[in-house]
Structure 1
Amino acid sequence: MKRLLSIELQKLWQNRASRILILTYFILLSSIALISSINFKFIGVDFRLADMGIYNFPFIWHFNTYMAAMLKFFLAIIIVSMMANEYSNGTLKQNLIDGLNKKEFIMSKFLTVVLFALISTVYIFILTLILGYSFSSYNETEIVFMDLEYIFAYFLKLTAFFSFCLFLGILVKRSAFALGFLFVWFIFECILIYMVRIPKMIYDLLPLEAMYRLISQPFTRFKLYQNIESQVSGATEIRDYEVHLSTIITVSVWIVIFMLMSYKILKKRDL
């Protein structure tokens, strides 16, 4: 495993565009901390998000993982480009000639995907602890680590999304077309859900929708939002913010499907 991973990391680090994207991604992740210093004006009232409970434990785990997951497209570009370069540079064929079989090749890509997701998760975990202890009104240990399931959901969400991107990179071969296919698939799921209106039990199984539902939006948990909602409608809507086991299973199954399909395509393809 170490040998397979070192091969992929060496390829990525030798690519200048990949290095820039990776560094940009982690710089943008760090920008979550800047939200604390931004002042907003709403209905004539000035306020700072950090003073609204956005960084309070345990809510901060939900907020930070949701916001960080929105930046996953930067690493998605690296994943699809990683596969496109294998075809365009002939390194895939050379690796196979040098003794790496197709199963090991797919495994090396998947290990890279998992490593990206893991490093990103550890980074967000540390950043969240720093921000939480700096701004949170609650620092009791049992409260600090209350909603850690969002960290696991974030890791699983990234792993699944990057596995999907890896599959598309193998299927389409060209990074631009792979990213285009990803966008088309997103539109396809939206059409099925909001226009065709397929049953919920079916659209919950769609890959991108399942990944999205791992970490639901956190904004309606803001006290400011709930106060406005109660003033407008007279009541606050009860919403579900939990990380559900059924969604975890669905996303995990999709990871397996993406990797098996990637291997099947590569196995049958004449290189």
Structure 2
Amino acid sequence: MLQIIRIEWLKVKSYRTFWILLLLAVAIIPAANYIGAEINSEIRDKAKDLIPLSTYDFPLIWQTMASVNSYMTALFGFPLLILVTNEFTYKTHRQNVIDGWERREFVLAKLFWWLALGVLALLISMLFAVILGLAYGTHAFSLEDSRYMFYYFLQVEVSLAIALLIAMLVRRAGLAIVLYLAYTMMIEQVLVVTIKRYVGEVGGLLPLQAGDELLPFPIVGKLMSSANRFDDGVYLLMLLVYIALMIFLVFRRMLKTDY
């Protein structure tokens, strides 16, 4: 596995497009939350009596950042889409096999990036949660409610799994990006609204929506009724099922189709 990781590193270390896309995905997390913290601070200064709690104070900040960041999970899918589709565009996946790789090892190499990008999103989010919590909050550091960061991590991994599956199925960068954007930004939302309207809360069990159900904004989440939603454990289970299913489909696609 270490040899696979080393080869993957050699592929991307001078790949400018990958690093630009990754930098944008990483930079948006502190930027968006810094703006949110500034706005929250200004509002509280003007209405302390009406808003006794700061959403950027411990322990609420874990949920706040996870909720805000959940709107930007798709950004981490673009570097993965580019990496995978380039393998097929430039036929490097064939060269890997010629060099002695098994198809399974090719998939494992892409799963390394799938996991690495998710871990990176989690670490950046947790780091800036601590920084902003200490800078804008009045409470001492606390890991209470940090489970929301785990929920966010799973949502990122589901989004990345969707990107990986689309890249494996389509194999062309332009079309893969369009399909990924269409699904994450529009198609699933239309399905969620339609299914919730005509079927019920089962619409909340779709891949990305299941993560959103676990990550309501703190104040909004307290105002919303829990009568029309499933238990958190159901959404958590669905995220894990989607991840397992999409990884299975990625392996099946690579192992059962011609190059």
TM-score normalized with structure 2 length: 0.85
- 2:8 corresponds to which residue? 8
Task: Kindly indicate whether residue 75 of structure 2 is the aligned counterpart of residue 74 of structure 1.
Answer: yes
Identify the residue that residue 255 of structure 2 maps to in structure 1. Answer: 267
Check the 8 A contact 1:5/1:112 in 2, yes or no: no
2:244 aligned with 1:245: no
CA contact (8 A) 2:165 2:246 kept: yes
Checking the alignment, whether the CA contact within 8 Å between 1:66 and 1:216 is kept in structure 2 is yes
Q: Does 1:122 align with 2:120?
A: no
Q: 1 CA distance for matches of 2:176 and 2:162? A: 10
Give the counterpart letter for 1:266 in structure 2.
Answer: M
* Mapping for residues 1-271 of structure 1, pairs under 5 Å: 1-31=1-31, 32-38=33-39, 53-139=54-140, 144-186=142-184, 187-195=186-194, 197-200=197-200, 202-218=202-218, 220=220, 238=225, 244-271=232-259
CA shift at 1:37, angstroms?
3.3
Residue 134 of structure 1: CA displacement? Answer: 2.1
Q: How far apart, CA to CA, are the structure 1 residues paired with 2:231 and 2:29?
A: 22
CA contact (8 A) 2:192 2:206 kept: no
State how far apart, in whole Å, the 1-side matches of 2:205 and 2:12 are: 33
RMSD: 2.9
- Kept after mapping to 2: 8 A contact 1:57/1:132: yes
Distance 1:93 1:66, change over 3 A: same
Amino acid in structure 2 at the alignment position of 1:178: A
Q: Which residue identity does 1:91 align to in structure 2?
A: T
Letter of the 2:75 counterpart: F
Partners in 2 of 1:174 and 1:256 — Cα distance? 24
The Cα of 1:207 is off from its aligned counterpart by: 1.7
How many residues end up aligned between the 2 structures? 252
What amino acid is aligned across from residue 20 of structure 2 in structure 1? I
Does the CA-based 8 Å contact 1:65-1:150 persist in structure 2? Answer: yes
Q: Which amino acid aligns with 2:194?
A: M
What TM-score, normalized to structure 1?
A: 0.81
Cα–Cα, structure 1 residues 198 and 114, in superposed 2: closer, same or farther, change >3 Å? farther
Question: Partners in 1 of 2:122 and 2:170 — Cα distance?
Answer: 28
Structure 1 range deviating more: 144-153 or 190-199: 190-199
- Per the TM alignment, residue 239 of structure 1 is displaced from its structure 2 partner at its CA by 5.3
Mapped contact 2:80–2:164 kept (Cα < 8 A): yes
SS at match of 2:205: coil
Q: What does residue 230 of structure 1 align with?
A: none
- Percent identity between the two aligned chains: 21
Which whole-Å CA distance do the structure 1 matches of 2:61 and 2:230 have between them?
A: 14
Q: Shift in Å at residue 40 of structure 1?
A: 9.1
Q: 1:51 to 1:96 in 2, by over 3 A?
A: farther
Structure 1 unaligned spans of 5+: 227-235
Q: 1:192 to 1:124 in 2, by over 3 A?
A: closer
